[in-house]
C-alpha cells in the first residue's frame, strides 16, 4: 500500500465500524470490490475507495455524525455541506487534504475521503438492463445542474471575461438556490423504486450507465472477504456483480490503464484542508 491507500483504509475501517455497530448493510463497490477479490486489498494503482449501501441503510448512516464526535471524520452530503453537489455521500478525514480538480473552486470539506453510494431500485419488472441507462443519465443531468452555483470564482487578469460570465451564472443560480432544488429533484427520482420491491437495482450515481442495473437478488446477502489487514463485506454473488461490470475481471488491464483517476490541486496527509487552503491561498 502507498501512503494514500493506508489513510483510505483507516477511513474505510471507521465506516465499517459504525455500520457494524448499527447493523447497517454495506458492500464494497466497483474497483474496491474488484480489488478485494483479485488482490485481497487495493488494486495497486487505485487512488480511491467505493462502498454502496441499500438506500434505507444509507439514509440512516447520514444521520450518524455523532458517532464521529471528537474525531476528524465528517459525513459529507448535499444536506450536511451546502456547497457539495453530488448525490452520493463521502466520509472525509478533515485532518488531511485532497482538493479534487473538479471541486477546486468549491468551499467544501476537502479532506481525503471514501465514496458512499446509495443502492436504489431501478425497475419494478424485469426489462433489458440497458434501458435503465436513461435513469443514470437523468441523475447526472440533475447533478450538473446542481453544480452551477459553484461556477463562482476569483476574477483573474488572464481569464477575466470568462470568469465574469461564470460568476454571473453562478451568482444567479446561487441566489435562487438552484443547487438544493436540483438535489431534491434528483433524490426523489432516485428513490422512486424501493430496492426490495424491484426486479433490477443498482448504483444510479456511478459511471457504468448501461451496466448499472442488475438483478436485485445480487444485493440481498453478503460475505466477508480479506481486504489488506482486515475483512470487509462484498455481495455474496460478487462474481455475477463483477462480471456484469468488468467482464473477465481477473484479467489485468493494459499497462497504460493501470493508473489512478483522481487529479488534485492540493494534497496533504499531514495537514487539514482548512489550514492547507489558507497557507496556499486557495
Tens-digit pLDDT profile for residues 232-243: 999 999 999 999
Between the CA of residue 140 and those of 87, 102, 145, 146, 204, what are the distances in Å?
Answer: 9, 15, 9, 10, 9
- 163, exposed or middle or buried, with CB in 10 Å at 0-12, 13-18, 19+? middle
- In the predicted model, what is the mean pLDDT of residues 261-265? 83
pLDDT score of 130 more than 90: yes
Are 108 and 273 in contact by the 8 Å Cβ rule? The answer is: no
Confidence grade of residue 98 (pLDDT, cut at 50, 70, 90): very high
Confidence grade of residue 149 (pLDDT, cut at 50, 70, 90): confident
pLDDT score of 176 more than 70: no
pLDDT score of 248: 95
- In the predicted model, what is the mean pLDDT of residues 65-76? 97
Beta bridge pairs of residue 226: 231
Are 58 and 91 in contact by the 8 Å Cβ rule? The answer is: no
Are 203 and 29 in contact by the 8 Å Cβ rule? The answer is: yes
pLDDT score of 169: 80
Q: Which three cell numbers stand for residue 87?
A: 448525490
Q: Kindly report the average pLDDT of the chain as a whole number.
A: 92
Q: Is 172 helix (H, G, I), strand (E, B) or coil?
A: helix
- In the predicted model, what is the mean pLDDT of residues 73-77? 98
Q: Which three cell numbers stand for residue 270?
A: 499531514
Confidence grade of residue 168 (pLDDT, cut at 50, 70, 90): confident
Unique residue bearing C-alpha cell 462484498:
234
Q: Which three cell numbers stand for residue 106?
A: 468549491
pLDDT score of 254: 87
Tell which residue, 279, 276, 281, has the closest CA to residue 95.
276
Tell which residue, 34, 43, 36, has the closest CA to residue 2.
43
Percent of the chain at pLDDT above 70?
A: 99
Q: Is the dihedral of CA 230, 233, 237, 242 positive or negative?
A: negative
State pTM to two decimals: 0.92
Are 111 and 103 in contact by the 8 Å Cβ rule? The answer is: no
Between the CA of residue 87 and those of 59, 138, 150, 188, 208, what are the distances in Å?
Answer: 12, 12, 15, 11, 16
pLDDT score of 161: 80
Unique residue bearing C-alpha cell 484479467:
251
- In the predicted model, what is the mean pLDDT of residues 8-34? 98
pLDDT score of 76: 98
- In the predicted model, what is the mean pLDDT of residues 11-23? 98
Q: Whole-angstrom Cα distance, residue 76 to residue 88?
A: 9
Amino acid at each position: 500500500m502507498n501512503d494514500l491507500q493506508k489513510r483510505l483504509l483507516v477511513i474505510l475501517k471507521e465506516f465499517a465500524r459504525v455500520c457494524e455497530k448499527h447493523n447497517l448493510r454495506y458492500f464494497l463497490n466497483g474497483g474496491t470490490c474488484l480489488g478485494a477479490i483479485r488482490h485481497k486489498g487495493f488494486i495497486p494503482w487505485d487512488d480511491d475507495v467505493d462502498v454502496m449501501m441499500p438506500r434505507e441503510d444509507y439514509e440512516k448512516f447520514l444521520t450518524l455524525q455523532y458517532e464521529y464526535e471528537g474525531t476528524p471524520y465528517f459525513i459529507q452530503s448535499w444536506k450536511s455541506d451546502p456547497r457539495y453537489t453530488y448525490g452520493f455521500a463521502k466520509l472525509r478525514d478533515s485532518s488531511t487534504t485532497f482538493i479534487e480538480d473538479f471541486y477546486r473552486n468549491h468551499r467544501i470539506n476537502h479532506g481525503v475521503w471514501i465514496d458512499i453510494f446509495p443502492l436504489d431500485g431501478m425497475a419494478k419488472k424485469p426489462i433489458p438492463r440497458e434501458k435503465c441507462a436513461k435513469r443514470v443519465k437523468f441523475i447526472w443531468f440533475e447533478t450538473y445542474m446542481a453544480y452551477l452555483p459553484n461556477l463562482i470564482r476569483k476574477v483573474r487578469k488572464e481569464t477575466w471575461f470568462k470568469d465574469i460570465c461564470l460568476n454571473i451564472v453562478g451568482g444567479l443560480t446561487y441566489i435562487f438556490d438552484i443547487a438544493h432544488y436540483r438535489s431534491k429533484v434528483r433524490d426523489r427520482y432516485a428513490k422512486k423504486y424501493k430496492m426490495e420491491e424491484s426486479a433490477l437495482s443498482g448504483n444510479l450515481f456511478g459511471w457504468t450507465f448501461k451496466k448499472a442495473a442488475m438483478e436485485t437478488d445480487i444485493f440481498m446477502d453478503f460475505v466477508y472477504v480479506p481486504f489488506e489487514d482486515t475483512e470487509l463485506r462484498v455481495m455474496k454473488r460478487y462474481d455475477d456483480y463483477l462480471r456484469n461490470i468488468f467482464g473477465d475481471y481477473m484479467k489485468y488491464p493494459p499497462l497504460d490503464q493501470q493508473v489512478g483517476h483522481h487529479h488534485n490541486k492540493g494534497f496533504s496527509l499531514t495537514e487539514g484542508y482548512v489550514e492547507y487552503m489558507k497557507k496556499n491561498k486557495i
